Amino acid sequence: MSGIVDVTAKGPRKLTLAQKLYVPEILAGLSVTIRHLLRNIVAIRKLPTILYPEQKRDYSGRFRGKHILKTRDDGTLKCVACYMCQQACPAECITIVAGEHPKIAYEKYPVVFDIDMLRCVFCGFCVDACPKDAIWMTRNYEMAFFTREDAVYSIDRLRESPEEIAKHGYGYRPYYPGDGTTPPADAALLPVVPGSGERDQLREKSVPLPDRDPGPGPLNAPSQAERPFSA
């Protein structure tokens, strides 16, 4: 019959005497291992592997590693808690709780901004979705955790730090014309003129609005470490 391979015709392959004794075959296998071992010891610099952590591979400038939350000149987060990144995230690993910013021009800020690094698939969609240039990624891939709770990074670990950037460098981030890294003028960076926001204008017209926070509040609260973990 053409086109059909008869696999039943052949019986089991007969072993030679050396194969039946096993020892010669084991020695043959060991000789291959020892040959590679000696060759690698003699020519260790030619090894195709990286001696991590002493050596580190130089990854692309658009590598998708740990996220950072960018800050304004006054040190507050550029994030305005719009939830766009949370909506875009396919892994549903971003948790945001918005608070009302005392500066009218900013409107909102994230009281809680958590990313569960164990669920994150490092796709960069959150960076693409952000309208405020507030979340970038770095080339930092050195994330290790002992507990699931430890894998949930909150603002204190996501806030951009010069030390982290100096050590790992920026990774995936919005691409801009020019050098590719300089964002265009951002309204959120402009000086805030008190009373220029919509809320104050509406108040002047006696439009009823929900109560504001009485004071400045814990702007960009440094840590939500005490927050109970929810799976």
Return residues touching ligand SF4 (CB under 6 A): 79-85, 88-91, 93-94, 96, 115, 120-126, 129-130, 132, 134-135
CB 99 within 8 A of CB 211: no
State which amino acid sits at residue 39: R
CB 169 within 8 A of CB 61: yes
User: 95 vs 102, which CB is nearer to ligand SF4?
Assistant: 95
Q: How far is the CB of 60 from ligand SF4 (least distance, A)?
A: 16
Strand runs labelled E in 23-123: 67-69, 94-100, 108-116
Instruction: Compute how many other C-beta atoms are within 10 angstroms of the C-beta atom of residue 57.
Output: 8
Q: How far is the CB of 53 from ligand SF4 (least distance, A)?
A: 24
Q: How far is the CB of 174 from ligand SF4 (least distance, A)?
A: 11
User: 98 vs 165, which CB is nearer to ligand SF4?
Assistant: 98
User: 81 vs 152, which CB is nearer to ligand SF4?
Assistant: 81
Q: How far is the CB of 181 from ligand SF4 (least distance, A)?
A: 17
Q: How far is the CB of 188 from ligand SF4 (least distance, A)?
A: 9
Q: How far is the CB of 124 from ligand SF4 (least distance, A)?
A: 5
33: helix, coil or strand? helix
User: 159 vs 227, which CB is nearer to ligand SF4?
Assistant: 159
What CA dihedral angle connects 155, 159, 161 and 165, to 10 degrees? 120
Tokens of 13: 């392959």
Return the H-helix or E-strand segment holding 17: helix 17-21
C-alpha pair distances (Å), 47 with each of 16, 30, 32, 51, 198: 37, 20, 17, 9, 63
User: 129 vs 219, which CB is nearer to ligand SF4?
Assistant: 129
Tokens of 144: 């290790």
User: 79 vs 155, which CB is nearer to ligand SF4?
Assistant: 79
> If 0-12 CB within 10 Å is exposed, 13-18 middle and 19+ buried, where does residue 68 land?
buried
